[in-house]
């Protein structure tokens, strides 16, 4: 089904047309094969970068496309409807460019055109094996060696692009305990002591499986500090506010794909001499799926428009991430129910979408953390 979109400019309509064309030509023919092999589609991501899709919300002066967030997120949604691993890769890369864009020195910012053009792929190294939701307690340490370098030791976990990235934002403790002791360092791939581990064996998103990164006396030049020392936690949280919108958009796109497939199947599948779509039990299920998707999309775009207007949006981003990803889990579950036994086999994509939806409830802050953020804002505002 075609989504009726209200886009702000004719250029935005052209951009969505380009995205759909790339989905049809570059993504759809390869998705199942790459997922089956568990191989990251680096050249596909590079193609998207050269088409201008990896720097959409950043200024043209830095190599971006100067698109509002409401447009960027609808591009992500469109990509996710064809191949979630690609949409998630674009979202994570966009997130990984933020520290240098917003807080990098003039020297570091010279890399932005290659970052935003997709020639350089980014990773965001915040989580650790013992510290996921409690990011302020991270234990990776960076110490000055007296020769103008930071020596970093620790382990990062669940890192998207860990084995494929060209640059890594490493959040490490350079001071005392708590959030104020954390700084952000930018390290290139191949930096001695930066050691990506084998990919995790994951339920979904197998073409973009995360991995741990071991930092073993990893030496990073002092001028690769992003922002001021001790501001890393603030940088990380700023980036995650926007990143949550990206994950919400991925959830909406995934759910839309599941609905479209379920509707098509229900129209064609006959039982008792009628298409199963004619039975209320199935029709009402589809109606609820469609309504939940529309509600999630509206919540997402409201948060995006607040961001575009320069207004506070972090609580609305948390709401959008929470609602959209829980919705995607419900919708993909119901899509399998509509397909019945066919939905449980890999001949149909519904089972992959179901497996992929689960991770969206976890990444960029679990949905329990989103509920905590939202509830605390309510108490604080009383």
List active site positions: 364
Q: How many CB atoms lie within 10 A of CB 5?
A: 15
Beta strands 167-173 and 122-125 are parallel
- 133: Cβ contacts below 8 Å, ≥ 6 apart: 365, 366, 368, 369
Q: How many CB atoms lie within 10 A of CB 232?
A: 32
- How buried is 295 (Cβ within 10 angstroms: 0-12 exposed, 13-18 middle, 19+ buried)? middle
Q: How far is residue 205's CA from residue 83's CA, in Å, rounded to a whole number?
A: 9
Q: Contact at 8 Å (CB) between 218 and 194?
A: yes
- 83: Cβ contacts below 8 Å, ≥ 6 apart: 23, 27, 28, 30, 31, 207
Residue 146 Ramachandran class (φ > 0 left, ψ -120 to 50 alpha, else beta): left
Q: How far is residue 222's CA from residue 241's CA, in Å, rounded to a whole number?
A: 27
Kindly give the residue spans of alpha helices, DSSP state H, lying in the chain.
10-22, 31-37, 42-50, 69-80, 84-103, 106-109, 112-116, 232-268, 280-308, 314-339, 350-360, 367-381
Six token digits for residue 341:
């036994």
First to last CA, the chain: 43
Q: Contact at 8 Å (CB) between 62 and 109?
A: yes
């Amino acid at each position: 089904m075609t989504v009726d979109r209200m886009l702000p400019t004719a250029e935005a309509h052209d951009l969505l047309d380009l995205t759909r064309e790339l989905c049809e030509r570059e993504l759809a023919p390869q998705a199942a094969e790459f997922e089956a092999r568990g191989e990251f589609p680096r050249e596909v991501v590079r193609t998207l970068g050269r088409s201008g899709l990896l720097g959409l919300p950043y200024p043209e002066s830095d190599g971006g496309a100067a698109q509002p967030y409401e447009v960027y997120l609808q591009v992500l949604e469109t990509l996710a409807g064809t191949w979630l691993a690609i949409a998630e890769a674009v979202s994570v890369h966009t997130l990984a460019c933020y520290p240098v864009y917003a807080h990098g020195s003039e020297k570091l910012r010279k890399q932005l055109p290659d970052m935003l053009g997709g020639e350089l792929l980014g990773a965001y190294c915040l989580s650790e094996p013992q510290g996921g939701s409690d990011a302020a307690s991270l234990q990776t340490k960076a110490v000055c060696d007296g020769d103008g370098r930071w020596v970093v030791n620790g382990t990062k976990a669940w890192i998207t692009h860990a084995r494929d990235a060209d640059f890594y934002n490493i959040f490490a403790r350079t001071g005392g305990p708590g959030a104020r002791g954390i700084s952000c360092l930018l390290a290139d791939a191949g930096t001695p002591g930066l050691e990506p581990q084998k990919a995790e064996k994951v339920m979904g998103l197998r073409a973009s499986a995360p991995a741990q990164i071991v930092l073993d006396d990893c030496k990073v030049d002092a001028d690769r500090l992003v922002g001021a020392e001790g501001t890393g936690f603030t940088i990380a949280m700023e980036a995650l506010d926007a990143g949550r919108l990206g994950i919400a958009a991925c959830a909406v796109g995934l759910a839309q794909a599941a609905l479209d497939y379920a509707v098509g199947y229900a129209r064609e599948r006959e039982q008792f001499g009628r298409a199963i779509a004619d039975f209320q039990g199935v029709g009402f299920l589809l109606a609820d799926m469609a309504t939940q998707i529309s509600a999630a999309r509206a919540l997402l775009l409201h948060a995006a428009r607040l961001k575009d207007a320069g207004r506070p949006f972090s609580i609305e981003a948390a709401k959008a991430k929470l609602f959209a990803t829980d919705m995607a889990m419900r919708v993909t579950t119901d899509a399998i129910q509509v397909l019945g036994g066919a939905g449980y086999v890999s001949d149909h994509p519904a089972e992959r979408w179901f497996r992929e939806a689960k991770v969206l409830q976890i990444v960029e802050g679990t949905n329990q953390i989103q509920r905590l953020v939202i509830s605390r804002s309510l108490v604080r505002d009383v």
